[in-house]
Amino acid sequence: MFFHIVLERNMQLHPRHFGRNLRENLVSKLMKDVEGTCSGRHGFVVAITGIENIGKGLIRDGTGFVTFPVKYQCVVFRPFKGEILEAVVTMVNKMGFFAEAGPVQIFVSNHLIPDDMEFQSGDVPNYTTSDGSVKIQKDSEVRLKIIGTRVDATEIFCIGTIKDDFLGVINDPSAA
């Protein structure tokens, strides 16, 4: 799920960035530092949409660095248990398949794939229904439900299922 929230961060700025462009430098550094990161609490920071407030800088003894508390608005993406997502399959193996929804990697175990779909090894490993009408392979788009998340400091990993109503392949590249 996406959220638009306000976060705060203490930015350390090297003295060489001081000057007229200090603010720009600060913001660009913030973007560089923050966008694409992941925190367990908020999920992935997708984009910074604005700066709320830059506090007073504090000069660090000895280094000359200045610390600014920066409040910024950003869009974060955090997957939740039970959430339905659309994702792109990135890898298929006999244990299931991996899919990605933006920065989040989701694993769908073969136990969580409908029983009538079987793994077919070969050049393009895939899961296929017995009648061959539905096929999950790399680059397929699937709709899945997240049933578990594991949140590390730098990564969010989910397991999902497509063994439910209205879940499964939504766009098959091979059919197209």
Range in contact with another protein (rule: CB under 8 A) among 5-13, 15-23, 56-64, 156-164? 156-164
Range in contact with another protein (rule: CB under 8 A) among 2-10, 68-76, 133-141, 153-161? 153-161
User: Using CB under 8 A, which residues numbered 99 to 118 contact another protein?
Assistant: 107, 109, 111-112
Toward another protein, which CB reaches closer, 53 or 93?
A: 93
Interface residue with another protein, options 4, 9, 60, 150 (CB under 8 A): 150
Interface residue with another protein, options 159, 162, 167, 169 (CB under 8 A): 159
176: how many CB neighbours lie within 10 A of its CB? 5
| Amino acid residing at 50 | G
Toward another protein, which CB reaches closer, 77 or 98?
A: 98
Range in contact with another protein (rule: CB under 8 A) among 41-49, 51-59, 115-123, 143-151? 143-151
State how far Cα 62 lies from the chain centre: 38
Residue 154 burial (C-beta neighbours within 10 Å; 0-12, 13-18, 19+): exposed
Which of 62, 61, 71 is CA-nearest to residue 8? 71
Structure token digits, residue 79: 């997957």
Q: Cβ distance 76 to 32 under 8 Å? A: no
Q: Cβ distance 117 to 134 under 8 Å? A: yes
Toward another protein, which CB reaches closer, 9 or 150?
A: 150
Range in contact with another protein (rule: CB under 8 A) among 24-32, 58-66, 155-163, 165-173? 155-163
Structure token digits, residue 145: 């439900």
Question: What's the DSSP call for residue 46?
Answer: E
Residues that bind another protein (CB under 8 A): 81, 95-96, 107, 109, 111-112, 146-150, 152, 157, 159, 161
